[in-house]
């Protein structure tokens, strides 16, 4: 008997998805309030998360793991794109400058732990990140492009899935594979639970970045007000 894992993941993570969208950082992002320093720190955090994910899933795909292997599509990989974005924001020596925040390190550590102890659960992390990126990527790209006044794809390679011609068809094929994985209902429930934990890991990163964003906005506002005071504005 096949398990409708795609539907279970979609319905089972709805609450977490809404909570993630309502974090201060994401809420500001969706409204076009994007600070370049905070955004580049997000890119750095994602680099460490995707490095862990693609390292572990790549090894399992090579070993033909029956559950993880089928969803390990190389065309979804984001590490190389993130490296290009980091070079744009930090310069060619970006690898010497970026370090994971505590939340990003905890996220990557969780991925490595799951890969070692119960690799099937990686499907929950894979679904949460990659399908989310593929689904909302172009919208977020446009928002970031306008907010940070970026030209073309400079600093936004993360949102470019150049190896996927038809995103809708790809997502449909991905869901079909999810539903064909050789798992039982208990394992499906565990994968959904892990997907919700993945959302929490993302929210922890967003909450760390929110503090940086608020500080940056406050600095801009302070400079604006003091400048107005110097020129003698009475408004």
- DSSP class per residue in 3-55: --HHHHHHHHTHHHHHHHHTSHHHHHHHTT---HHHHHHHHHHHHHHHHHHHH
The residues of the chain scoring below 70 in pLDDT are: 1, 211-235
- CB atoms under 10 Å from CB of 91, counted, come to 10
Tell me which residue range forms the domain holding 46: 5-230
* CATH number where 115 lies: 1.20.910.10
Residue 73 inside a domain? The answer is yes
Cβ pair 38, 25 in contact under 8 A: yes
Could you read off the pLDDT of 153-187 as tens digits, one per residue?
A: 789 999 999 999 999 999 999 999 999 999 999 99
Rounded Cα–Cα distance for residues 111 and 54 (Å): 10
Helices (H), the chain: 5-12, 14-21, 24-30, 36-62, 79-90, 102-117, 122-126, 132-147, 167-180, 185-230
| Alpha-carbon gap, residue 65 to 183, rounded angstroms | 12
Number of structural domains in the chain: 1
Answer whether residue 85 is part of any domain.
Answer: yes
What is the pLDDT, as a whole number, of residue 228?
Answer: 44
The whole-angstrom separation of Cα 167 and Cα 135 is: 8
**Is residue 94 a part of any domain in this protein?**
yes
Domain-embedded: residue 226: yes
Residue 204 lies in a domain: yes
Query: What is the per-residue pLDDT for 212?
Result: 57
pLDDT of 82: 98
pTM, full prediction = 0.88
Residue 70, SS3 per DSSP: helix
Which of 90, 89, 85 minimizes the C-alpha distance to 157? 85
Q: Is residue 235 part of a domain?
A: no
- Domain annotation covers residue 64: yes
Give the whole-angstrom CA distance, residue 104 versus residue 201.
8
Round to whole Å and give the CA distance between 122 and 105. Answer: 17
């Amino acid at each position: 008997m096949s398990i409708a894992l795609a539907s279970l993941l979609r319905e089972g993570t709805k609450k977490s998805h809404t909570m993630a969208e309502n974090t201060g950082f994401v809420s500001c992002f969706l409204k076009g309030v994007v600070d370049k320093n905070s955004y580049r720190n997000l890119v750095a955090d994602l680099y460490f998360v995707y490095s862990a994910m693609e390292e572990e899933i790549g090894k399992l795909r090579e070993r033909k793991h029956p559950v993880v292997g089928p969803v390990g599509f190389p065309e979804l990989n984001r590490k190389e794109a993130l490296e290009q974005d980091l070079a744009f924001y930090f310069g060619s020596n970006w690898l010497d400058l970026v370090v994971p925040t505590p939340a990003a390190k905890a996220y990557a550590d969780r991925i490595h732990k799951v890969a070692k102890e119960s690799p099937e659960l990686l499907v929950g992390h894979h679904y949460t990140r990659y399908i989310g990126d593929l689904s909302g990527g172009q919208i977020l790209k446009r928002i970031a492009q306008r907010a940070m006044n970026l030209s073309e794809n400079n600093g936004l390679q993360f949102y470019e899935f150049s190896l996927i011609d038809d995103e809708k068809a790809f997502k449909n094929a991905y869901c079909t594979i999810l539903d064909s994985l050789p798992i039982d209902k208990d394992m499906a429930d565990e994968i959904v639970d892990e997907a919700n934990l993945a959302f929490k890991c993302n929210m922890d990163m967003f909450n760390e970045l929110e503090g940086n964003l608020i500080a940056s906005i406050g600095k801009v506002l302070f400079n604006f007000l003091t400048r107005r005071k110097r020129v003698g504005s009475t408004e």
